[in-house]
Amino acid sequence: MSKEFTLPDLGEGLQEAEIVAWHVGEGDNVVADQPLVSLETDKAVVEVPSPWSGRIEKLHGEAGDVIEVGAALVDFDEGKNTDAGAVVGKVSADAVSEEASVEARGRPSRGGGKATPAVRALAQKLGVDLSLVSATGRGGVITAADVEDAAADLAEAEPLEPLRGVRRAMSKRMTQANAEVAATTLMEDADVTEWKEGQDISLRLIRAVVAGCNAEPTLNAWYDSSEEGIRRHKKVDLGFAVNTDAGLFVPILRDVGSRDPDDIRAGLDNMREAILAREVPAEELRGATITLTNAGTLVGRYSTPIVAPPQVAILGVCRARDDVVAFEGVPAVRRMMPLSLTFDHRAVAGAEASTFLGAVIEDLRLPD
């Protein structure tokens, strides 16, 4: 008479698992605790042992099949009976066999690559975040040796320094932006050779952003992901990124399109003083419709600035340089300013971004 072994509860509320590979075949004789099958859940790759000794009569399912907890897994035609309901997946520290790893399919497990519960327990014991571990096991499985190597590397590093204040807030904003925005970046140079002496670079950049918004208002907008729609703004409330030792501040210059240059300059000066004194009102850090970040003092030809939702665009500016370019049909040394426009491709088409950036470049080419 056959005995049915059903898929046991694998823990953590898991209701199903995918068969990766069988380690036995129909007609094989097995002993208790011998590995029967490797299963993959959304948590780990699990090796399920035989609940008792006996002869395999039937295997239920093939590699790639999804089996629910409580469903038939293996039929035995003889062997010592034990309490199969108490058996749970037995996991080896080295995950599964190499062949099983190669055939492994499915999603990476939470907190890093695929890893068995035993390896996860080792990582917890050693204080290792699995998302920081490079997997060397075939099929992308993290092994015990991988965790031990990561622990050794961490032991040689400086103690963890928690992010606080402005840097912590910046980290959260960047995480949100990376998760929500379908970001694409256009890069181009603006020829600023004709600028007159003593140009206020910040004012020129702000004016160029306004010119871009006038040419293509879609970039001066917010995207509502829940409603899948955009809300264009009539005023340009410009986020002006300012880097400090404490982190990145992005206060707002309101309605820059209708203010005269002296008023904007006074606003910039007041804004910088407030940032250095840590006295920027909270309302002055919210509500930007588009952002400008000037990295002209930093090393780097181009950048990939990050859009802060619900905004749909940010213009990054890097350090101007003398470069040999084609000018009026001949090579010439010209002063070139690198521009990087990142936009949310859910809301902004490539042609719209190109129109915006083209208008920015044309404005920057003007002598004053």
Is the domain of 144 the same as that of 187?
no
Cα angle 64-65-66, degrees, rounded to a multiple of 5: 120
Lowest-pLDDT range, 102-106, 176-180, 292-296, 308-312?
102-106
Residues 84 and 192 in one domain: no
Are residue 175 and residue 256 in the same domain, yes or no? yes
| 176: Cα separation from own chain's centroid | 9
The H-or-E segment that residue 207 falls in is helix 201-215
Question: What is 99-143 written as a DSSP string?
Answer: HHHHH--SPPPTTSSB--HHHHHHHHHHT--GGGPPP-BTTTBPP
Amino acid letter, residue 262: D
pTM: 0.61
Q: Which two structure tokens, joined as six digits, stand for 355?
A: 């129109």
Residues 256-311: pLDDT tens digits? 999 999 999 999 999 888 888 777 777 788 899 999 998 877 778 899 999 999 99
Instruction: Give dist(CA 264, CA 246) in Å, integer.
Output: 25
- Rounded to the nearest 10°, the torsion over CA 233, 236, 241, 242 is -140
| Close Cβ partners of 336 (under 8 Å, ≥ 6 residues apart) | 189, 190, 191, 192, 320, 321, 322, 323, 325
Whether the pLDDT of residue 248 is over 80: the answer is no
Cβ atoms < 10 Å from Cβ of 325: 14
Domain boundary among 145, 161, 177: 161
Average pLDDT over residues 47-63: 90
226 and 153 inside one domain = no
Integer Cα distance of 182 and 199 in angstroms: 35
Q: Of 99, 134, 161, which residue is a domain's last?
A: 161
Whether residues 127 and 146 fall in one domain: yes
Same domain, 334 and 251: yes
Give me the domain span that covers residue 3: 1-161
Collapse the DSSP code of 12 into the 3-class scheme (helix H, G, I; strand E, B; otherwise coil) and give the result: coil
Q: List pLDDT tens digits, range 326-359.
A: 999 999 999 999 999 999 999 999 999 999 999 9
Contacts of 176 (CB under 8 A, 6+ apart): 308, 309
Q: How many domains does the chain have?
A: 2
Residue scoring higher pLDDT (109 or 249): 249
**Whether 349 contacts 232, CB under 8 Å:** no
Q: Are 286 and 222 in contact (CB under 8 A)?
A: no
Which position has the token pair 């780990």? 44
Same domain for 188 and 333, yes or no, is yes
- Residue 255 burial class via C-beta count within 10 angstroms: exposed 0-12, middle 13-18, buried 19 and up: middle
pLDDT of 170 strictly over 80: no
Does residue 63 sit in the same domain as residue 9? yes
Boundary (domain end) residue, out of 161, 191, 206: 161
Model confidence at 44, in pLDDT bands (50, 70, 90)? low
**DSSP secondary structure letters along 244-306:** ETTEEE--EETTGGGS-HHHHHHHHHHHHHHHHTT---GGGGS--SEEEEEETTSS-S-----
Q: What is the CA radius of gyration of the chain?
A: 30
Residues 110 and 8 in one domain: yes
User: CA-to-CA distance for 91 and 304, rounded, in angstroms?
Assistant: 43
CATH assignment at residue 51: 2.40.50.100
**CB-based contacts of 22, cutoff 8 Å, min separation 6:** 36, 37, 59, 63
194 with 282, same domain: the answer is yes
Reported as a single tens digit per residue, the pLDDT across 197-212 is: 989 999 999 999 999 9
- pLDDT, mean of residues 83-106: 39
| Residues contacting 316, CB < 8 A, separation 6+ | 293, 294, 295, 302, 303, 304, 305, 339, 340, 341, 342
Angle, nearest 10°, between helix axes 350-365 and 201-215? Answer: 140
Identify whether residues 127 and 239 lie together within a single domain: no
**Which is higher by pLDDT, 162 or 5?**
5
